[in-house]
Structure 1
Amino acid sequence: MKNKAIFLDRDGTINIDKHYMYKIEDFEFVEGAEKGLKMFYDMGYKLIVVTNQGGIGRGYYTEEDLEKLNNYMEKRLLESGVKIEKCYFCPHHAEHGIGKYKKDCSCRKPKPGMLIEGIKEFDIDPEKSYMIGDKMSDAEAGINAGVKPIIVKTGKEITEEIEKSGIEIYSSIYEFALSLQKK
């Protein structure tokens, strides 16, 4: 039997978005995120982070900086009884990337590359899975990978495009977790 997963954007969804954040001292969970993630985990979902990190491509910070921050986040969540299976990231930017990072790739959301990789690596059933993010590009990545998109209001402003899209919108990860528990 295949696994079910919750794919998660990071900045603005799990943690407060602080524009090209890479320092541990700047990391702050969105209110209720830890509780919501624990609820998903307890419901048997594999938790997989998929995050665009154009700041690497622009030269603002390194892959090692990102790895340190993600390890910190994962450690904090483990202390709450939550396991993140993997943090996939896209360092590329077709327009603003520098050197090897300046390319049009298949992993930068809204393209589904990171989700497809997670689906293969963790034997995920897309039809039983969700993609949670705070932007239309997150939702589109989910749709493009065949998983159900969910938008949360904890990051970017909800656009008219999102409101008219028919995509389910929740105030936070925690609110969606409460709703999913009832299904």
Structure 2
Amino acid sequence: MPAPETSRPAAFLDRDGVLNVDREYVHRADQLTWIDGVPEAIRLLNDAGFLVIVVTNQSGVARGFYDEAAVAALHAHMRGYLAARGAHIDAFYYCPHHPDGKVAAYTMRCDCRKPGTGMFEQAARDWPIDRARSFMIGDKDIDIAAATAFGIRGAQFNATTDKLPDLVRRMITAD
């Protein structure tokens, strides 16, 4: 459901490697291991007035490992977990495509797959985003490339050396 018409900055977050440990093709709640500090980091963003938008490549759909219903169920589980801890994600966007997929309907090149900007563009159509104050946190070069192509700041996150709440604080105050 769209936000009010007043534009707000958005914090775009990659999912696997930023919110949860990146074990290839995570698609069930029992496979999910949260990165330390995620609820705190998202609460910081919520309290600072940022839209929190997850943008994630999910090629497992195209590869036939799971379907879009599994993606939706995992995202609903993530929302419930965060809500119980006083944090919320405003929207999830995902790309189910991959040019080397096995499921014909999803086997393609597309603009939504990062480093493309399709998920960001869709979010900008759905939400009144203040791009000048928005940023992306991702764990891969393609995340930063997508942020740059969309015209926002990007920060690379490494779960083994960085603390997500600390990075979020730096990004919020870097305005």
Residue 41 of structure 1 is aligned with which of 38, 41, 46? 46
Which residue in 2 is equivalent to 1:149?
154
Q: Within 2, Cα distance between the matches of 1:97 and 1:78? A: 35
Matched residue SS, 2:165: helix
SS at 1:149 equivalent? strand
Using the size of structure 2 for normalisation, the TM-score is 0.91
1:61 and 2:66 are equivalent in the alignment: yes
Give 1:178 shift: 2.7
- State the shift of 1:80 in Å: 1.6
The alignment yields a C-alpha RMSD, in angstroms, of: 1.5
Identity of aligned residues (%): 31
**Contact preservation (8 Å) 1:13, 1:172:** no
1:176 counterpart residue number: 167
Would you say 1:123 and 2:123 are equivalent positions? no
- The Cα offsets for residues 73-121 of structure 1, whole Å up to 9 and x where unpaired, read as 0111111222211110000001234201111111000000001111121
The residue aligned with 2:3 is none
Quote the Cα distance in structure 1 between the aligned partners of 2:135 and 2:145: 12
Instruction: Kindly provide the CA deviation profile for residues 102-154 of structure 1, in whole angstroms up to 9, marking residues without a partner as x.
Output: 11111000000001111121110111101110000011111111111111002
CA distance in 2, matches of 1:142, 1:182: 18
Give the ranges of 4+ consecutive aligned residues of structure 1 lying more than 3 Å apart after TM superposition: 180-183
**94-103 or 36-45, larger mean C-alpha shift:** 94-103
After superposition, residues 1-183 of structure 1 pair within 5 angstroms as 1-154=6-159, 171-180=162-171, 182-183=173-174
Q: Which runs of 5+ in 1 are unaligned?
A: 156-169
Change (3 A) 1:137 1:64: same
TM-score, length of structure 1 as denominator length: 0.87
The whole-number CA distance in structure 1 between the counterparts of 2:15 and 2:146 is 14
- Once the two structures are TM-superposed, the CA of residue 175 in structure 1 deviates from its matched residue by 1.6
Gapped runs of 5+ residues in structure 2?
Answer: 1-5
Residue of structure 2 in register with 1:161 after alignment: none
Count of aligned pairs: 169
Whole-angstrom CA distance in 1 between matches of 2:46 and 2:164: 12
Opposite residue 77 of structure 2, the aligned amino acid is: Y
Distance 2:33 2:41 in 1: 15
Does the CA-based 8 Å contact 1:97-1:103 persist in structure 2? no
Separation in structure 2 between the aligned mates of residue 51 and residue 64 of structure 1, nearest angstrom: 15
Distance (whole Å) between structure 2 residues aligned to residue 76 and residue 102 of structure 1: 32
Q: SS at the partner of 2:80? A: helix
Judging changes above 3 Å, is the alpha-carbon distance between structure 1 residues 26 and 61 closer, same or farther for their aligned structure 2 residues? same
